[in-house]
Every structure is written in structure tokens, then in C-alpha cells.
Structure 1
Amino acid sequence: MLKLANNKFYSGKTSALFSAEQAFQARQFHQKIEGYVPTPLVSLPALAQQLSVKAVLVKDESKRFGLNAFKVLGGSYALGRQLAKHLNVDIADIDLKTVSSKLEAPLTFATATAGNHGTGVAWAAREMGQNAVVYMPKGSAQASVDRIKGLGAECIVTDVNYDDTVRLANETAQANDWMLVQDTAWEGYEEIPTWISQGYMTMADEAIEQTAALEFGMPTHVVLQVGVGAMAGGVLGYLADKLGADTFDTIIAEPAAADCIYRSGTSAEGDMVNVSGDLNSIMAGLACGEPNPVTWPVLRDCSRYFVSVEDSVSANGMRILGNPLSDDPKIISGESGAITLGALRELHTQGLDEQVGLNAESVVLLFSTEGDTNPARYRRIVWEGEYAAS
């Protein structure tokens, strides 16, 4: 159910794109948004005891701006940076509620999404008085489509997989002179994906501030989920710069059906490796087959381990977080959010703790990046035991 590989390409080299200074700028922008509060960092002491570690800390992103997922951080920051560039002003001068008054007519932002990123772009566009067109891959959950439409965006479900949907969104945006807001990059399209990943650093900056207020010390281990690697690269880049790359070990986790980062990290030369096909996984937000070239260097240089997991591992993580031990607080975590806890538990179950350096002094930081964004499937998994371990 889980494959583990050491990262032979680790160098500890940090990136100027994803630094504590860049995170400060992104968080300043987010702090000006109405309703901004840091999401909770939850300690699970009973679970930590069962897993034989000092602490398990979970950043609960289901509380982010009422959108049930973290991705609005990247989408809103990228839209803010795009509008600042369009208006030739500093990002510090962009206010979501007033920026539309500086434009002759609303702009249209386009994106491809598995759900949460499109929700964030649609929400940010609405808050800024702009238009959004969102493309989703075949098989997308109707709940995600309805959520995006409910935010005032046009939502189009395609008949191709995620990576091909990205290409379609790009072609359509170019044909219509729309602004593409995509969280993966390719040659000639790096600036906006960089802004999106920088926006995600707000989440990490909050987490370190919150961890400092606790008695455990800084994280010794961080588990990060990846699709294209936009979030993981931004967060890991920040942590490496803020804490020092050699002060903690990072485990990168992704679904086996779309494990492009695992394959890249275990390749002969550390080159990006694409995964094709339908990429079917319950972890829709992570079902991406092509690494983000902007953030891949960070993952290659600063992570210690790569793991590829079956869907049942994430499903188990959802059940553990939703049905906690003893007095541990309950966390509602969706399929792409719970892979980190599922992977941590599976490492322990398979007796791989020592191999990744987990012990009684370990402080493990996890990011539950979404809540029950697909409520019907959440209940099937957590209530009815769908995707049980074989």
C-alpha cells in the first residue's frame, strides 16, 4: 500500500523564490482580506503516543475563508499580483474590495482545476469584481462543479484528464485574451505559478508561528502531499529558508495512480518524469501526472523521502482524523488532505519509522489541506468503510 524511497538528490539548497521574506509579503496581502484568520494548528497527543512520537501537529485548512480548502491562498495572491502588474502598482496597494474601481472593465481569469484551486480562483475573482472561467477534468465531482458555479464562475467539465485540461484552458485563454491562473508551469509560463506557490507560504508561516507557541519545539519531520508540487514546493522552500534545510526531514506523499514526483525522485538523474493515462484516484486534487518545473527543484533539493500510496492509505487517514483517540480533537479531512496522516500511520504500521528517522523525540507537522469537499464520498469512506485496506 506504500512505497518508500530515499531522496539521493538531497542537497539542502534553498530557493530565493520561496523564502521567509516572500512569505511575509504574501501573508501581508492575505491579512488585508476580510475574514482572514490563521487556520488552527491541532495537536493530537493520543495519536502521537500510539505512533511513538513526541507530537503530531495538524494544520486544519478546512477553516480557510469558509472555502473548506487551502488553495484560495495561492489563487488570491496570484490574482492580486496579476492585477498589480496590470495596473502598474505594488501588490501592497491592491485591496480586493476596491481594485475593480481602478479598471475600465472586469478582466476574465481562466484556470484548470481538480476542484479546490478553481474554487479559490472563482472566490478571489468574485471578491475582486472580476470574471472567472474554470475547466475541470472528466469525472470531476458534481459537488465541486456546483461550488464553483455558486461563486459566480463559469465551470466547464472536459472529457480529458487533468493535464490535458490544463492545456485546453491555456489554449482557450490565449484565444480569448483571458488571464490564465494555473498552478503548474511550463516553458514561458513561470511567473504566475510562482506567485501561486508563494501564496501557499502563508499557511506555512502561520504553522511555524503557531508551533513556536507550543512546548514541543520546531518540527523534526514534515509530511507534504503533492499533485504537481506547487503547494509542497512553496511550503518546503519556506521551511528550508526559515528553519534551515538540515533541521528537519520532509516526506513527500502522493497517490500511486499519479506518482510523478516519486518517479522523478527515483529517476537516474533527478529529471522530471511524467505519468500519463486517466490518473484515477480518490485524491482528485493530487491526481496530476506532470511535475511543476518551478517547484520541482525545491522538492528534489530539500526533501528526504518520497512515498507513493494507494487510495486506501488516504481513506484510512480520513477515518483516523474523523474518529480520534481519547480526547484528541476531531478533524474533518478530505481525500487529498488526509494522505499525510495516512502515510505517517502506514510508515509506522510497516515498521519503517527508523528508516525515516521517526522516534520518541520526533515532532511531526502535517497539513490537512481540505475538508469534506466531496461530502457524499466523505461519508461513504468514513461511515461505510469505502476504500478499506485489503
Structure 2
Amino acid sequence: MLKLTQNAFFNGETSALFTAQVAEQTRQFHQQIEAYQPTPLISLAQLAARLGVKAILVKDESHRFGLNAFKVLGGSYALGQQLAEHLGVDITDIDMKTVAAKLSEPLVFATATAGNHGTGVAWAAREMGQKAVVYMPKGSSQASVDRIRNLGAECIVTDCNYDDTVRIANQTAAENSWMLVQDTAWEGYEKIPTWISQGYMTMAVEAQEQAVEMGLNPTHLMLQAGVGAMAGGILGYFADKLGAANFSTIIAEPSKADCIYRSGEKGEMVAVTGSLNSIMAGLACGEPNPITWPILKQCSSFFASVDDQVTATGMRVLGNPLNGDTKIISGESGALTLGLLYMLASHEEFAQQKELLGLNQDSVVMLFSTEGDTNPIRYRQIVWEGALSTAN
């Protein structure tokens, strides 16, 4: 059901790429977008009492720019930085509504995606008057394909897994002189993935300010990971802002694509191959992002490898709250950490892991629900019909 390992390589060293100052710059870029609003940080007081912790704070990214997911933060910031570099100006000079007038013809941005990242790139390209070509791996939901195409992008579904789809997008972009906007990195391709992870930090700035307004600071940060791009950006901000030793961080992944977990055990990047078949499509990635891996290695407290049933439980708990708590519609990749928290805190078989994590009546647990019901059919199968129940 779930595996947990303590990070023997923790040293608390922060990264100059992911600081509170950089995070504030990314937020300033997002604030100039007409539709910008901070997404809510929701306190689930009744659930916290039920699970024996002081507070559970959930950042609900289903409200982000009307796109039902957080990924647009990274895609838009990376496109802004690319256009600024192309035009020879600073990112602060990029206005999404007017930048197209400074170009003789639209640029083409290409990416590979499990769904949400491609949606964000397609939306940002449309808003900036540019073009997007999006590649998706085999088995991608038709809802995600349709959403990307409805944003004006070309969407191509491949016959291979996510990591191989990234390679196809990279090769095709190079052949056509397109700009690749990928949220993982490899040797010689680091700058744009860094911008994407930095773009995600807007979530962290908002969440910390919202928590302080509640009179709280997180004692536990639970983050889901695919390649680790989002987790690294968020953790980098909090490590710089609060000090990595002042809270515990748990990085969680699907058991069928647990490259960060395995890397955490070994202390160096480990790739997972195969079909990576998990309902958590946005997290079904087999190769860690080398840009964010160092901060995960240095500042994470624990790594978790979790079966699909755990995130399905999280979806049901968030979607059917205790009386007095706010309902949160969270998709397969968004509810993983809440499902993990629920299992650890409510099932006697995980009492030892709960104690190891230090989850108790003084704990303030911060989570990021990174997507809403981006796959509506599967959401109903899980939340309405009880698919992937832990009782089965």
C-alpha cells in the first residue's frame, strides 16, 4: 500500500535557484496577468481533529486561471522568460497581452505532457499570441487532449510512455526550430526547466502568506512528485524562507513510477523504466529532474512510494468532507498527499511510520492539491462508484 524511507542524505543546504527572492519575482510576473488571483489555502479543521493533528492546510489549485491545475504557473513563466530572452529584454518588460506585437511572426512552443503542463503551455501561448504543439503519452485521457486542442494548440498522442514522449517532443522541436518548453531537464537542457520550477514557487509564496494570516507555520510539508519539478521549487522556497531543519518534508510518488523514492534511498538519481502505469498521470514519470533533485536530496526528510488506492482515498476524503470542512475537488495527482496523511494517521498498521514522521497534536500539515477533476470520468468512477477502494 505504501512505503516510507527516511532521507539519510539530508543536510539542509538550500539552492540559489529556489529562494524567497526568486519566488517573489515569479509572483510579480503572474500578478500582471489579468486573471491572476491567489488560490485558496483551505483549513480542514474537522479532519485535523479527526486525525489528531493541529491543522491541515490544503492549497486548492483547481482555481488557478480557470484551468483546473497549477501547471500554468510554470509554463507561463517559462514562456515569458523565453520571449524576454528572444527580444533581449527583462522578464519585467513582458506583458502577455502586448508581447505578440513585438514579434514579426508567432513563435512555436513544443512540449510533452501527461495533461496539465501541456494545458498550461497551450493557454500561455494563446494568451501571448503564440503557437503550441503538445505531445502526450499513450493512454492519455481524451478529456486532456480535447482541453489542449480547445486552447488552440495542436495535440499529438504518441504510442509510448511519458519519458519517450519527451524525447519525441525534443527531437521534433529541434528539427523544426521550435522552442521546447519541458518541465524536466537533461544535460544541455537546464535553463527552461529551471524557469518552470521557479514559476511554481508562486504557489509557495501565496501559501506561506495565507498560513501566516491564520497564525500558523507548517511543521510538515507533504509534496507529490513526478520528475520533482514542482516539489523542488516549493521545497526550495520553504527551505530558504523557514530553514529546512525547522519542518519535515515528505515527498510522495506513485509506486509504479517512484524514481525519487529510489533515488532517495540510494543518494543519487535512479530512473524507473516500463509502462509507469498509474492513475496519477501527472506523476507517472520515471526519470528525476536533475535541476531539482539536489534540493530534494538535501532538504527532504522522507520519501514515500504509494499505491493508486491511497490517492483514490484522498480524492474521496477531500470530496466528501466532515461537517464544517470545505469540499475540495482533487484529481488523481492532486490528492496523493492527503490520502497518504489519512492512511498514516488513521490506520493502526502505520502507527510506527506516523510516529517516525512526528505527526501529533502540534503538527501543522501543508498540502498542495495540484489539480481538480481533470479527468472527469475517472473522478466519478473513484469518488462516486468507489473504484480503487482500499477495502478491495
Smaller-chain TM-score range? over 0.9
Q: Deviations over 1:188-218 (max 9, x none)?
A: 0000000000000000000000001003x20
Q: In structure 2, what is the Cα distance between the partners aligned to 1:173 and 1:347?
A: 44
The 1-side partners of 2:33 and 2:337 are apart by 29
Within 5 Å, give how 1:202-221 maps onto structure 2.
202-215=202-215, 217-221=216-220
Note the 1:105-120 alignment, pairs <5 A.
105-120=105-120
Q: Residue deviations 1:338-360, cap 9 Å, x none?
A: 00100111112221221101110
Q: Give the distance between the partners of 2:323 and 2:148, measured in 1 at CA.
A: 37
| Alpha-carbon distance between aligned partners in 1 of 2:342 and 2:324, rounded to the nearest angstrom | 19
Matched residue, 1:234: 233
Give the distance between the partners of 1:156 and 1:81, measured in 2 at CA.
Answer: 25
CA–CA distance in 2 between the matches of 1:263 and 1:382? 30
Q: Counterpart in 2 of 1:96?
A: 96
| Equivalent-residue separation in structure 2 for 1:122 and 1:346 (angstroms) | 36
Give the Cα separation in 2 of the matches to 1:198 and 1:11: 22
1:366 paired residue number: 367
AA matched with 2:61: E
| Aligned counterparts of 1:138 and 1:100: Cα–Cα separation in 2 | 33
CA distance in 1, matches of 2:183, 2:358: 32
Partner of 2:66, secondary structure, is coil
Letter in structure 1 aligned against 2:378: R
Aligned to 1:64: 64
**Residues 45-56 of structure 1 aligned to structure 2 (within 5 Å):** 45-56=45-56
Q: Deviations for 1:123-177, whole angstroms, at most 9, x for unmatched residues?
A: 0000000000000000000000000000000000000000000000000000000
2: distance between equivalents of 1:345 and 1:316?
A: 8
SS in 2 for 1:119: helix
Q: Which of 265, 269, 272 is equivalent to 1:272?
A: 269
1:342 maps to which of 339, 342, 347: 339
1:109 alignment partner, SS class: strand
Give the number of aligned pairs. Answer: 387
The residue type paired with residue 339 of structure 1 is L
Instruction: Name 2:283's counterpart in structure 1.
Output: 286
In the alignment, what sits opposite 2:2? 2
Cα distance per residue 1:200-244 (max 9 Å; x no partner): 0000000000001003x2000000000000000000001100111
Q: In 1, distance between residues paired with 2:307 and 2:15?
A: 31
State the distance in 2 between where 1:367 and 1:143 align.
23
Q: Which runs of 5+ in 1 are unaligned?
A: none
Deviation at 1:289, TM superposition (A): 0.2
Write the letter of the residue equivalent to 1:178.
W
Structure-1 residue corresponding to 2:381: 380
Q: Deviations over 1:97-125 (max 9, x none)?
A: 00000001000000000000000000000
- Encode CA deviations 1:58-89: one digit per residue, 9 max, x unaligned: 00000000000000000000000000000000
SS in 1 for 2:371: coil
Q: Distance in 1 between matches of 2:157 and 2:34?
A: 31
8 Å contact from structure 1 (residues 26, 201) kept in 2: yes
Amino acid at match of 2:31: Q
Alignment partner of 1:319 out of 291, 316, 326: 316
Kindly indicate whether residue 256 of structure 2 is the aligned counterpart of residue 261 of structure 1. no
TM-score by length of 2: 0.98
Could you tell me whether the CA contact under 8 Å between 1:2 and 1:346 is conserved in 2? Answer: no
Secondary structure at 2:250 match in 1: strand
Instruction: Return the match for 1:331 from 322, 328, 346.
Output: 328
C-alpha distance in 2 between matches for 1:2 and 1:278:
20
Please state whether the residue corresponding to 2:231 is helix, strand or coil: helix
Alignment correspondent of 2:294:
297
Q: Is the 8 A contact 1:109 1:132 kept in 2?
A: yes
Letter paired with 2:231 = A
* Corresponding residue for residue 249 of structure 1: 248
Contact 1:224 1:340 in 2 (8 A): yes
In 2: Cα distance, 1:346 partner to 1:254 partner:
15
Structure 2 CA distance, aligned partners of 1:230 and 1:346? 25
The Cα offsets for residues 315-340 of structure 1, whole Å up to 9 and x where unpaired, read as: 00000000001210100000000001
The normalised TM-score by structure 1 is 0.99
Q: Which runs of 4+ in 1 moved over 4 A?
A: none
Matching residue's letter, 2:362: E
Counterpart for residue 179 of structure 1: 179
Amino acid across the alignment from 1:51: L
Unaligned runs of 5+ in 2: none
Q: Which amino acid is the alignment partner of residue 227 of structure 1?
A: G
Equivalent-residue separation in structure 1 for 2:158 and 2:26 (angstroms): 32
Task: Map 1:116-195; keep pairs closer than 5 Å.
Answer: 116-195=116-195
Task: Give the secondary-structure state (helix, strand or coil) at the position aligned to 2:339.
Answer: helix
How much does 1:30 deviate?
Answer: 0.1
Distance 1:99 1:376 in 2: 38
Q: Output the amino acid matched with 1:205.
A: V
Identity of paired residues, percent? Answer: 73
**SS state at 1:292 partner:** coil
